């Protein structure tokens, strides 16, 4: 912008919203979809932004678009401005869960949390907040970026998986211990499992998406050898044990919930230093003061207190 002083009365502040989405998505089509407008309307908005800033904002790079240096430098300040505006307005908000409608998008890094933790909440929402909906998604490697881009309302993840959570508003929900799970009729294991048995018996290694699970990372860090014969997703391992000599390490809450169905015996790990996993919820400053968001966070804290 050429002028040192800009008359805000002449500017449609909705352009800031469009700017943030356009520069984030690097696509007129995807930006139009996110803002629920037509592509031609989004193109017109981009033209207005170019005129306002005296800058192309987005330029072609091969088959795609990239942000100009000016647009990149403005993205964080614009996000902060939008967050501050939302926070100011939300402080005046009231939210009545019995009558108000709201949909929250929640990223869950351990999909079994939907079963062990969020399922009871879903049942209660049907009674306590009939017009509140949860859109629960599994995460990918970009979960932190999606949260910071405000594409989701809340992230639930193990604290150990997201060390940068300290830079954002967050609260601990509960800790979940780790147990060894085996078939209830395992021919070689009674009420305890020895370290030698743990290291030598056929083992199911668990992964979360494209990465080893936190239990596997801990075992690697502690230098515990395993006789790995099967590798699978974390939430599936419990159901592969029945009728086999296989063993695995799983979260205690999940194991307790499926023990009868999967015919499991749950044992204390014979490993010194194996730590429980702490689940946290993380959000952004943009939604910190929103009344409905505060209500959801409080409801999750209350539910977590019940399961601890």
Residues 159-184: tens digit of each pLDDT? 988 888 888 999 999 999 999 999 99
> What does the H/E/C string look like for the chain?
CCCCCCCHHHCCCHHHHHHHHHHHHCCHHHHHHHCCCCHHHHHHHHHHHHHHHCCCCEEEECCEEEECHHHHHHHHHHHHHHHHHHHHHHCCCCCCCCCCCEEEEEEECCCHHHHHHHHHHHHHHHHHCCCEEEEEEECCCCHHHHHHCCCCCEEEEEHHHCHHHHHCCEEEEEEECEEEEEECCCCCCCCCCCHHHHHHCEEEEEEECCEECHHHHHHHHCCCCCEEEEEEEHHHHHHHCCCCCCEEEEEHHHHHHHHHHHCEEEECCCCCCCCCEEEEEECCHHHHCCHHHHHHHHHHHHHHHHHC
Q: Residue 26 has which token pair?
A: 């690097």
Residue 91 pLDDT > 60, yes or no?
no
Split at pLDDT 50, 70, 90, the class of 56 is very high
pTM: 0.68
What percentage of the chain carries pLDDT values higher than 90? 55
**Integer angstrom CA distances of residue 85 from 16, 60, 81, 82, 198:** 11, 32, 6, 5, 55
pLDDT digits (tens, 9 = 90+) for 37-54: 999 999 999 999 998 889
């Amino acid at each position: 912008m050429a002028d040192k002083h800009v008359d805000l009365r002449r500017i449609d502040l909705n352009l800031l919203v469009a700017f943030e989405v356009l520069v984030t998505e690097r696509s007129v089509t995807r930006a139009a979809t996110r803002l629920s407008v037509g592509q031609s309307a989004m193109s017109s908005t981009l033209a207005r932004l170019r005129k306002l800033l005296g800058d192309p904002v987005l330029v072609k790079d091969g088959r795609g678009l990239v942000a100009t240096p000016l647009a990149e430098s403005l993205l964080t300040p614009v996000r902060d401005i939008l967050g501050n505006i939302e926070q100011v307005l939300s402080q005046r908000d009231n939210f009545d869960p019995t009558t108000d409608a709201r949909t929250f998008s929640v990223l869950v890094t351990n999909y079994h949390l939907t079963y062990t933790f969020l399922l009871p909440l879903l049942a209660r929402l049907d009674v306590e907040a009939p017009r509140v909906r949860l859109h629960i998604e599994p995460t990918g490697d970009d979960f932190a970026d999606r949260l910071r881009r405000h594409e989701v309302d809340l992230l639930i993840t193990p604290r150990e998986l997201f060390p940068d959570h300290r830079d954002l508003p967050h609260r601990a929900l509960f800790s979940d211990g780790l147990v060894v799970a085996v078939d209830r009729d395992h021919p070689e294991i009674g009420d305890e499992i020895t370290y030698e048995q743990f290291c030598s018996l056929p083992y199911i290694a668990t992964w979360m998406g494209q990465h080893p699970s936190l239990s596997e990372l801990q075992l690697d860090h502690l230098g515990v050898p395993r006789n790995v014969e099967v590798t699978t997703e974390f939430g599936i391992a419990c159901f592969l044990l029945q009728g086999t000599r296989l063993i695995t390490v799983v979260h205690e809450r999940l194991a307790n919930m499926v023990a009868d169905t999967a015919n499991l015996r749950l044992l204390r790990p014979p490993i010194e230093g194996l730590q429980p996993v702490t689940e946290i919820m993380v959000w952004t400053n943009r939604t910190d003061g929103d009344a409905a968001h505060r209500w959801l966070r409080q409801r999750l804290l209350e539910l977590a207190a019940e399961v601890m």
